[in-house]
Amino acid sequence: MTTAHGCAAPDYDSVDEGTELPQIDIRIRRADLVRYSGASGDFNVIHWNERAARAAGLPDVIAHGMLTMAITARIVTDWVGDPGAVAEYAVRFSRPVIVPDDEDGAEIVITARVAKKLPDHRVRVDIVARCGADKVLSMARAFVVLP
Amino acid sequence: MSLDPSFIGRTYPAVAVYEVGREKIREFADAIGDPNPVYRDRDVARSAGHLDVIAPPTFPIVITARIAEQVIFDPDLGLDYTRVVHGQQRFVVTRPMRAGDRLTGVLTVDNIQAAAGNDLISTRVDVTTEDGEQVVTAYSMLVARGTSGVSSK
């Protein structure tokens, strides 16, 4: 199976601790928040209504943490090709992703590396997601089973 | 107003079955902007060893968030949902969710605490098929910002 990058999927023996995964950059705009609200069923007003977001003490509308978590997972699933290889995925939402009402929205820059090779063809991948200067996810890690 | 700590350890019985639809998976994959064919094309999914199209790793939240509402929206808990942001999330996957799965879940309140003026609630949802096959466990921590120790009027 080839990955979204067109490269052969990694196998356990060919990866080392420290192996970097191909970086991905993903832009989130207001329309993406509306679409994710509908698809996920999370209609919390802070994700689509500026007035409500400000009343809740936020600077502006923020992205759903779960949307940030979902797009961040792609650095791993694009790499392995089969998302069914993800055995565990965990994040802390350290800073909100503020999504202004303009064409640029917010850009998430995602990097990751193989942090540990574990028994049974499992690896731990440590992931960093940034928006501007903010680390928006911390302690983001996935346990993946490689062929 | 702080959260009622007597909720710690409470378990809520299995909810009505949720059937995972192929088009729901596609809609979710579209919404997260992920073009992976394993979410859309049954033949591709089968060649990867799955019985049908599978769902993205964070898709279980569609089911587990609804199950967690049993406690989150319980007025006796005292959570001000307008102040809530997501603190942490973890999925432990026995196997990926796939189209046709008929799922239910048991909700447990793992912890409630106050920290730095915020109220924190940690929940766990164990998702199984209606036949009892373990599928995924979702651990969530929600934060109500600035609500702890503030008297309610």
Residue A36 falls inside a structural domain: no
Q: Is B87 left (phi over 0), alpha (psi -120 to 50) or beta?
A: alpha
Residue A7 falls inside a structural domain: no
What's the rounded Cα separation, in Å, for the pair B18 and B102? 6
CATH number of A123's domain: 3.10.129.10
pLDDT band at A1 (very low <50, low <70, confident <90, very high): very low
What's the rounded Cα separation, in Å, for the pair B79 and B134? 30
* Site from A77, A97, A143, A144 to mutate, B interface, most B CB atoms within 10 angstroms: A77
| Mean of pLDDT over chain A | 94
Per-residue pLDDT of chain B (153 residues; tens, 9 = 90+): 589 999 999 999 999 999 999 999 999 999 999 999 999 999 999 999 999 999 999 999 999 999 999 999 999 999 988 788 899 999 999 999 999 999 999 999 999 999 888 999 999 999 999 999 999 999 999 999 887 765 443
pLDDT of residue A11: 93
pLDDT of residue B147: 75
Would you tell me which CATH number, out of the four given (3.20.20.70, 3.30.70.260, 3.10.129.10, 3.20.20.80), belongs to the domain B5-20+56-144? 3.10.129.10
* Site from A1, A60, A78, A82 to mutate, B interface, most B CB atoms within 10 angstroms: A82
Residue A47 falls inside a structural domain: no
- Domain count of the fold of chain A: 1
Q: Which residues of B touch A (CB under 8 A)?
A: 27-28, 30-36, 38-39, 47-50, 54, 56-58, 61-62, 65-66, 81-93, 95-96, 139, 145-146
Q: Name every chain B residue with its beta carbon within 8 A of the beta carbon of A69.
A: 58, 89
Q: In this prediction, what percent of chain A has a pLDDT beyond 70? A: 95
pLDDT of residue B153: 35
Choose the closest CB to A92 out of B81, B87, B146. B87
Residue B55 in contact with residue B97, Cβ under 8 Å? Answer: yes
pLDDT of residue A8: 61
Query: Closest residue of A to B66, CA-based?
Result: A41
CA distance B83 to chain A (A): 6
Which sign does the torsion angle of CA A103, B28, B90, A124 carry?
negative
- Residue range A95-122, pLDDT digits in tens: 999 999 999 999 999 999 999 999 999 9
Give start and end residues of each alpha helix (H) in chain A: 30-40, 50-55, 65-80
Give start and end residues of each alpha helix (H) in A41-120: 50-55, 65-80
pTM: 0.94
Residue A48 falls inside a structural domain: no
Which sign does the torsion angle of CA A99, A106, B34, B130 carry?
negative
Residue A100 falls inside a structural domain: yes
- Residue range A26-73, pLDDT digits in tens: 999 999 999 999 999 999 999 999 999 999 889 999 999 999 999 999
Query: Closest residue of A to B27, CA-based?
Result: A39
Residue A40 in contact with residue A117, Cβ under 8 Å? Answer: no
Residue A138 falls inside a structural domain: yes
Residue A83 falls inside a structural domain: yes
Residue A50 falls inside a structural domain: no
Q: ipTM of the predicted structure?
A: 0.94
Domain with A20, as residue range(s), is 12-28+63-145
Q: Report the pLDDT averaged over residues A117-130.
A: 98
* Site from A24, A58, A74, A76 to mutate, B interface, most B CB atoms within 10 angstroms: A74
pLDDT of residue B151: 42
- E-strand spans in chain B? 11-12, 18-19, 84-93, 102-115, 118-129, 134-144
Which residues have CB under 8 Å from B136's CB, separation 6+? B60, B91, B92, B93, B94, B97, B127
Which residues have CB under 8 Å from A56's CB, separation 6+? A46, B82, B83
